Amino acid sequence: MPLFANLGTVDETVSNSPSLASLRRQPHWSFSRINGLVNYCSLAWAFRYVHRLKPRFTPVSLVFGSAFHSALAFQASRRLHGQEVTVGDCQEVFADLLTENCQRDGPPVRFNDSETSDTLVAQGQRMLATYLASLDPEEEIEVVSMPFSVPLIDASGRLLDKPLIGEFDLVVRKGGIRTVVDWKTSARRWPKGKAETDLQATCYLWAEQQSRHTGSQFRFDVVTKTKVPVCERHPAARDDEDFVRLGQLVRVLERIVANECFLPRRGGWECANCPYASACKGWHRERARSHVEIGRRAAA
C-alpha cells in the first residue's frame, strides 16, 4: 500500500491532467525549486522565485538542455503513436529549436568560450545519435512528457500547503515493469553514487507512489557532452524513509522562505555564470536599507 495512501491522489491519468504550464501558475514546489534552495545559492533562488528579478542573461546550457529534451520528446512521441522517425528527423528538430531559442526575445543567451550556435548544434546532434543508438527495442513507451501534481507530507504526517509538481520525461514498460525515465545532459560522466542521493529520483518516485504506481522503477538516462558522447543509464531506488525525509526537508525550506533566510554563496562554481550577479553585489546594501525602513515604520 502506498505511503500515506489515505490522502488520495492528484492527476491520476494523463487524459484529465492539467498541463505543466497551468500547474506552475499555482503556488507549488518542484524538484528544481527544492534542489536550488538546498544545493545551490539561496540568494539567487530568492532573486528568481521571490523577488522575480529579470535575469541579465540566459546561460546557453539551459537553451541547449531544453532543445535536447524537446528533440527526444519528439522522437518518443512519434514512436508512441507508431509513426516512423529517423535520427535525422530528431537532429533537425534539435537544430531548429536551438537556433530559434538563441534568437528569441528576452534575456540574451550567453555562450561559453569557443562556443557558437553551430558548434552546439553539431554537439547536440552527435549526442542524439548516441542516445538513439542505445535504445532498448524491447522497451514499450507508455507516456511522453507526463505532468504530475501530488501532495507533500512532513514527518509528522501533516499535509504541506503547496503540492509537488513536475513532469516525467518518459515512462516505459518492459517485462511488466514500469520505469520513469529522466533525460540528462552532462559535461562528463556521472560519479559513482550520484543517482543514489539525487533529490530528483526521490521526488519523482514519490509522485509515482502517490499516483498508485507502487512498483515503478526510476532511472536517469545521461548523455555526455564529451567529444565522443557516451550514454549511461543510472537506476535509482528509494524507500518510505526517503519520502518522509523529503517531506520534512520541504517543511524546513518553507520556514527558510517565510523568514527570508537567503544568503549569498560567493565563490561557488555557479557564480561565474550567474544571471543575478549584479543584484548579488548590492544585496547587503539593499538589505540594510530595508531593515532601516522597517525600523523607522515600527518606531513611528
Cα–Cα distance, 235 to 229 (Å, whole number): 20
Which CATH architecture does the domain made up of 5-49+136-258 adopt? Answer: Alpha-Beta Complex (3.90)
Residue segments in the chain with a per-residue pLDDT below the cut of 70:
1-17, 287-300
Sheet strands (E) in 187-285: 217-224, 231-236
Phi, psi of 148 (to 5 degrees): -145, 155
Phi, psi of 80 (to 5 degrees): -60, -35
SS3 category, 149: strand
Tally of residues, the chain = 300
Q: Specify whether the CB–CB gap between 48 and 276 falls below 8 A.
A: yes
Cα–Cα distance, 165 to 20 (Å, whole number): 8
Global confidence as pTM: 0.88
Q: Pick the closest to residue 209 from 235, 244, 249, 182 (CA basis).
A: 244
- DSSP per-residue string spanning 1-26: --TTGGG--S--SSTTPPPHHHHHTS
Instruction: Give tens-digit pLDDT for 176-187.
Output: 999 999 999 999
Q: How much is the pLDDT for 265?
A: 86
Q: How much is the pLDDT for 272?
A: 85
- Cα 261 from chain centroid (whole Å): 23
Cα–Cα distance, 43 to 300 (Å, whole number): 31
Instruction: Give tens-digit pLDDT for 107-152.
Output: 999 998 889 999 999 999 999 999 999 999 999 999 999 999 999 9
Cα–Cα distance, 30 to 133 (Å, whole number): 31
- Domain residue spans in the chain? 5-49+136-258
Residue 181 C-alpha cell reads as: 525515465
Residue 2 C-alpha cell reads as: 502506498
Phi, psi of 134 (to 5 degrees): -95, -5
